[in-house]
């Protein structure tokens, strides 16, 4: 009797709960996996799926609809496919892929889907923004007028960057492309620029080295690292630059300034080619799909300087691209060159000769930065690129043993000192005031009496004495980015003092 009473009570309670609950019909779109492998899946039974829609597999794995046909959907997976098998269920979400954005991401290492990859707490997002967003229209943009200093004298003086610009860094493998990007990030440690670094298909050890360099020399608490490692799912690597761009746009749209490093887009194009070929999309030139240009143009067009009515923020893009044997006319390099506002070309020959950064000034150009160059440098570097090019030609000419007059020899010696000040150690970006002092020293001929081998000691001595002996001039140049007559005189005075001290030391050693 007790058991029967308990059963009746339980039934009554269950009926009461069912009566109180609001039971409504639920619509769910369910398909099935037909084929799975190599990071992609073919899904049948979801005829209303839209391109770019997020799909959810039975085990919780997410995928992105990349091709939509009448009979099936081609889906790229955003994580491992080990637990997915043919015949499994797939659910249409009706949503697009999104990434968390907000202040909580600063200083963190995350995956392209917003998962924390460091030892910190889970990411707390302010909101979830879509990976794909339209680029700002022309009326929403403003002219690029504010400089973005890299701390590299060869770039800031001859190939200057502006906030809101898209500047390509291109060169062969192991020529210093990532180092230029890291130096630029490090140089923003005392500015208001937020840096977002996207690693696309890079080894985990390479990515760890980048993070360590920024933490040791820069302000990592104002940086965000997005990792699409080489061992991650191809789909995750593919969406990495779009996720990083969305995160950067969060700060831009709030009137702040962001720097986006994409390392590198050549690997990104290769990953996209692999996915397209597996999904049986028609191949084009070099087996790339026909929309490979749109792949990068829709990404890089999102970098912009917004007008004051839209907050005045900026997003500067610094994409990296790899060439094969210096071939700038290959398919992906020419595409990227046509999309961006200029390129910094790194030449292997210069790298192996020890000229680092190995920037080929003649083949590098900034189509915007000339109008945004810091006036402190612009006043000294008007003819610097031309003078440097003339020196390189004269130096090649003298290698044949031809006799040169004193005037030509003087130009060559002057050019060698210019080349020496353009050489920098990695992870050591220079403040604007020191760059101005060095350029002033070489353009005014104050270093002509020094041997080329002494230029490095001269720079080290100037870097130590300048902030302590001329703090007012240093602060004025770094803040206003201009050089007054008073500051110019103060810089020349300390330059002459350093040159004289080195001359005395050398003469004492010779005696």
Give the helix/strand (H/E) hosting 298. helix 292-300
Burial zone of 313 (CB within 10 Å; 0-12 exposed, 13-18 middle, 19+ buried): buried
Q: Given the residues 56, 141, 367, 457, select the one marked as catalytic.
A: 367
- Let me know: does 298 contact 272? Beta carbons within 8 Å: no
* Distance, CA of 476 to chain centre: 30
C-beta atoms surrounding 61 within 10 Å: 20
Residues paired with residue 35 on neighbouring β-strands, in sequence order: 42
Tokens 């049986």 — which residue? 280
Of 172, 494, 146, 137, the closest CA to residue 313 belongs to 146
How far apart are alpha carbons 486 and 502 in whole angstroms?
Answer: 25
**Taking the alpha carbons of 280, 282, 285, 288 in that order, is the dihedral positive or negative?**
negative
Q: In a 3-state reduction of DSSP, which class is residue 497?
A: helix
Q: Is 99 helix (H, G, I), strand (E, B) or coil?
A: strand
Residue 423: DSSP 8-state: -
Q: Are 135 and 302 in contact (CB under 8 A)?
A: yes
If we measure between CA atoms, which residue out of 226, 66, 194 comes closest to residue 132?
Answer: 66
- How far apart are the C-alpha atoms of 166 and 341, rounded to whole Å? 5
Calpha distance 435→430 (Å, rounded) = 6
Helix 471-480 / helix 485-510 crossing angle, nearest 10 deg:
130
For residue 20, what is the enclosing H or E element?
helix 2-20
CB atoms within 10 A of CB 435: 24
Q: Token pair of 506, please?
A: 């050398």
Please indicate whether residue 222 is annotated as part of the active site.
no
Alpha-helical regions (H) of 303-449: 331-339, 348-352, 375-378, 384-398, 406-422, 432-443
Residue 132, both tokens: 């794909």
> 116: which DSSP letter?
B
Q: Do 141 and 315 touch, CB atoms closer than 8 A?
A: no
For residue 191, list its beta bridge partners. none
- Cα gap 354→349, rounded to integer Å: 9
By annotation, the residues acting in catalysis are 367
């Amino acid at each position: 009797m007790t058991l029967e009473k308990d059963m009746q009570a339980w039934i009554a309670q269950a009926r009461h709960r069912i009566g109180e609950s609001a039971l409504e019909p639920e619509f769910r779109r369910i398909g099935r996996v037909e084929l799975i492998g190599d990071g992609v899946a073919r899904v049948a039974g979801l005829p209303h799926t839209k391109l770019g829609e997020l799909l959810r597999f039975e085990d919780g794995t997410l995928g992105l609809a990349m091709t939509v046909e009448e009979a099936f959907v081609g889906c790229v997976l955003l994580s491992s496919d080990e637990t997915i098998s043919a015949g499994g269920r797939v659910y249409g979400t009706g949503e697009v892929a999104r990434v968390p954005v907000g202040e909580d991401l600063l200083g963190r290492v995350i995956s392209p889907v917003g998962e924390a990859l460091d030892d910190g707490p889970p990411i707390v997002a302010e909101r979830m923004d879509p990976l794909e967003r339209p680029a700002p229209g022309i009326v929403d943009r403003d002219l690029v007028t504010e400089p973005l200093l890299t701390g590299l004298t060869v770039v800031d003086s001859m190939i200057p960057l502006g906030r809101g610009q898209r500047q390509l860094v291109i060169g062969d493998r192991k020529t210093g492309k990532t180092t230029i990007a890291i130096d630029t990030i490090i140089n923003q440690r005392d500015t208001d620029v937020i840096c977002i670094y996207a690693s696309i298909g890079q080894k985990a050890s390479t990515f760890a080295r980048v993070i360590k360099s920024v933490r040791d020399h820069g302000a990592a608490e104002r940086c965000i690292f997005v990792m699409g490692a080489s061992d991650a799912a191809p789909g995750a690597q593919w969406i990495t630059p779009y996720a990083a761009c969305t995160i950067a746009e969060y700060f831009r749209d709030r009137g702040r300034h962001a720097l986006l490093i994409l390392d590198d887009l050549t690997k990104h194009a290769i990953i996209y080619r692999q996915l397209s070929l597996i999904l049986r999309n028609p191949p084009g030139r070099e087996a790339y799909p026909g929309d490979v240009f749109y792949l990068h143009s829709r990404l890089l067009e999102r970098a912009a300087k917004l007008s004051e009515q839209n907050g005045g923020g900026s997003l500067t893009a610094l994409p990296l691209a790899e060439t094969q044997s210096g071939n700038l006319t290959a398919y992906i390099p020419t595409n990227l060159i046509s999309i961006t506002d200029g390129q910094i070309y790194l030449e292997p020959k210069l790298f192996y000769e020890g000229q680092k950064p190995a920037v080929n000034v003649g083949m590098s150009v900034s189509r915007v930065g000339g109008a945004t160059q810091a006036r402190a440098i612009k006043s000294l570097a008007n003819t610097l690129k031309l003078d440097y090019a003339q020196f390189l030609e004269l130096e090649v000419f003298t290698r044949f043993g031809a006799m040169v007059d004193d005037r030509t020899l003087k130009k060559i010696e002057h050019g060698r000192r210019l080349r020496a000040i353009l050489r920098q150690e990695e992870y050591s970006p220079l403040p604007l005031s020191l760059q101005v002092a060095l350029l002033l020293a070489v353009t005014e001929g104050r270093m002509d009496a020094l041997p080329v081998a002494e230029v490095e000691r001269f720079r080290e001595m100037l870097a130590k004495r300048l902030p302590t002996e001329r703090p007012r001039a240093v602060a004025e140049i770094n803040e206003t980015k201009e050089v007054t007559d008073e500051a110019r005189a103060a810089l020349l005075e300390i330059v002459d003092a350093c040159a004289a001290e080195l001359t005395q030391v050398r003469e004492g050693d010779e005696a």
